[in-house]
Homo-oligomer: A and B are copies of this chain.
Amino acid sequence: MNFLDYQDPRPIYEQIADMYQKLILKGALQADEPLPSVRKLAIELSTNPNTVQKAYTELEHKGFIYSVKGRGNFVKVDPQLREKKKRELKERLTEIFKEAEEIGISQSELLEPEEENGK
C-alpha cells in the first residue's frame, strides 16, 4: 500500500511524516507501538531510506515518536497531543475568518451551506 501522491507539491518526506502524524493523532497507532523500520518502509514506498529517515527525524522533532538505536522507532506517549492539534486547527480557523473579514465576508456567511435557500 503506497499512500504517496507525486502530484502533491509537498516533498515526499513531508507526506510520510504527515501520514504518520495523522495515524497517531487518530489513535490508529498506540503509544509505544513500533513504526515500520526505515528500510522496510522505504521498500514499500519505493523510495530512498534517507527520505524515510528524514520523515522520522521530523516526527521525532515534533514529539510524535522516539527512536531507540538498534530497535526501531516508536509512538511517543503524549496525552496533550490532541489538545495541541486542536489548538493548531483553531488557529487555522481564525486565520480563515480573518481573511474572509478582510474582504467583507462574515463568519456566518462562510459557514452557510452552499446554496443559500433563504426564503
Contacts and interface: CB of A to CB of B under 8 A. Distances in A.
Given A7-B76, A74-B6, A96-B96, A89 B68 contact: no
A110 B96 contact: no
Contacts of A100: 86, 89
Interface residues of A, number: 35
Contacts of A105: 82, 85-86, 89
Interface string A98-111: 01101111000111
Interface of A: 6-7, 11-12, 22, 25-27, 32, 61, 66, 68-71, 74, 76, 82, 85-86, 89-90, 92-93, 96, 99-100, 102-105, 109-111, 114
